[in-house]
Structure 1
Amino acid sequence: MAAAAYAYELDGVSFAYTPDTPVLDEVTLRIASGSWVSIVGPNGCGKSTLAKLLGGLLAANSGTIVVEGRELTQDSVWEIRPRIGMVFQNPDNQFIGSTVEEDIAFGLEGRCLSREEMTDRVQRYAEKLEISHLLTKHPAELSGGQKQRVALASILAMEPGIIIFDEASSMLDEKARSELLHIWQDMRSSGDYTLISITHDAEEIMASDRAIVLRGGAIAADTAPAELFGEEELLHACRLIAPYRVRLVQELRKRGLDGDGILPGWQTRRR
């Protein structure tokens, strides 16, 4: 069967935790398979709620969500959910095992895989995330960056086609965040995954293919990341600061100089 052109197709999706307080209102969008999309916006705009809807952890009050060509419903959610992995802000909340090896293997035990296949996956994804030397460690012995690598290895071992990162880099220091970003870039380049980042991190947004801005539970913008960082009003609303290289190009332009070579793919409208 041919791969679906879209990982997600949302049509008029609305959600409220209480009837008089809507969180998402008539959200309609498509996310291409194999792409990397950043979802950004001010606190309380519905980003994490949208992530839970995409992950099948919540059901929409109205509208439809189609995942890789199949509508997400109460009947289909248990078959669709294994195709989706989620990595959250605090990796401590995702640990199950008493060692890294046990933690990566935990999700595989319910898949009825052979012991040989489970061992192979643990070793393969530990190596991929460069954490093979940590397999016998207790999660409490790890740094924040190492914990997020373990959390990601646990998800990758399940071999989902879609991975949702809900503020997954926000608790990391600059070095660990940079290392994690490089891993995501490699995943994007492989073409094996659709990546969705719920984030406030400017570098993370710039590395993605597309930025979707939520405000007040609705889509306020759907654009290229470089385009977003040229929209001062949106940046202010989202409490975002453009990366240094973007600000450098903007400053050069103000002085009548061409700085486009500093930022390949720069598409910001000239004003």
Structure 2
Amino acid sequence: MGDTGLAYEVKHVSFAYEHTHPVLKDVSLCIPSGSWVSLVGPNGCGKSTLAKLLGGLLAANDGAIFIEGTELARETASYIRPRIGMVFQNPDNQFIGATVEEDIAFGLEGRCIPREEMVNRVRTYADKLQIGHLLSKHPSELSGGQKQRVAVASILAMEPGIVIFDEASSMLDEKARGELLGILQGMRESGQYTLVSITHDAEEIMASDRAIVLLDGTVAADLTPEELFRDEGLLGSCRLIAPYRIRLQLELEKRGIRASSPQGSGEVKDELWPFILSM
């Protein structure tokens, strides 16, 4: 089957680690190539399991997963998997090499990339992730944010078309989360990647194109991030809190107050400041 313009087409997929305890039940969804989708939901809803299925690390019990038009199966896995990269929540678990340079090069060596190209890719992606000055460092010398940058560089050096971030910001401090968000935004703007984020981070969700909500192993909603954060029922089910600007806008709307000027300048009216400062 040829390319359909979809990075993923998931058809009626079910999965269970034990047959008596299904984790995913009849999941169907589509992810267009070049888009950025957030997978959200409470702990235990099946997000990370779905990420592993999308990454080819697990095989579905029922249903089918098509990746860029080709069904993921035993005979196609060796062709498909190199097109997918995965970044996990704990970057320490992804380190292989004794230095940052060795770590970025490890996956390339496994794919028998010629040395000249390998050296060029290591330098190129280290520079893109602003870690070129860290290439000789041991992983233990890095901050959490730097480690996650190295993990991302290691994946991007293998030049996948699809990158899955499985709770990649959950162990980072606020500064490092902001840096990772900037990396994700840059990747989306480059037009080279399809991004799938499994996340609880409201700002990360807001920056994506769509949010797919998993509840109890099924797709409960597929909507824009703003629609998600305006749905109090879904937010409660997902254990999410809307970003401050959305909460402010909703409170203003409840009081019949327009949040921006009539000209659409986005400037806050003088009469709103006492209300804003009281929040």
Give the aligned partner of residue 254 of structure 1: 254
Residue 110 of structure 1 and its aligned partner are, at CA, apart by 1.8
The CA deviation at 1:4 is 4.1
Give the match for residue 69 of structure 1.
69
**How many angstroms apart in 2 are the aligned matches of 1:4 and 1:115?**
35
Which residue does the alignment assign to 2:273? Answer: none
- Separation in 1 of the partners of 2:179 and 2:251? 29
Equivalent residue, structure 2, for 1:208: 208
**In the alignment, does 2:147 pair up with 1:136?**
no
Amino acid at match of 2:60: A
Q: Does 1:233 align with 2:233?
A: yes
1:11-50 correspondence runs (5 A): 11-50=11-50
> What amino acid does structure 2 have at the position aligned with 1:131?
I
SS in 2 for 1:196: strand
| TM-score normalised by length of structure 2 | 0.92
Any residues of structure 2 matched to 1:98-117 within 5 Å, and which?
A: 98-117=98-117
1:159 partnered with 2:156: no
- Aligned match of 1:193: 193
In the alignment, structure 1 residue 93 sits paired with structure 2 residue 77:
no
Residues of 1 paired with 2:110 and 2:43: CA distance?
A: 36
Distance of 1:48 and 1:133 partners within structure 2: 33
CA distance in 2, matches of 1:247, 1:65: 37
1:201-245 CA deviation, whole Å, 9 max, x = no partner?
A: 000000000000000100011000000001101101111000011
Offset of residue 254 of structure 1: 1.2
Which residues of structure 1 form unaligned runs of 5+? 264-271
Q: Distance in 1 between matches of 2:156 and 2:76?
A: 22
How far has the Cα of 1:259 moved from its partner? 2.1
More divergent stretch after superposition (111-120 vs 198-207): 111-120
Shift of 1:32: 0.2
Residues paired across the two proteins, number: 263
C-alpha separation in 2, matches of 1:225 and 1:141: 37
- Percent of counterpart pairs with the same letter? 72
> What is the rounded CA distance, in whole Å, between the counterparts of 2:239 and 2:159 in structure 1?
34
Instruction: Report the RMSD for the aligned CA atoms in angstroms.
Output: 1.4
What SS is found at the alignment partner of 2:163? strand
- Report the equivalent of 1:59: 59
2:5 maps to which residue?
Answer: 5
Counterpart AA for 1:82: P
How far apart in 2 are the matches of 1:138 and 1:185? 28
Distance 1:130 1:113 in 2: 23
Q: CA deviation at 1:131?
A: 0.1
TM-score normalised by L of structure 1: 0.95
2:180 counterpart residue number: 180
- State the partner residue of 1:266: none
- Greater C-alpha radius of gyration: 2
In the alignment, structure 2 segments of 5+ residues that lack a partner are 268-279
Amino acid at match of 2:25: D
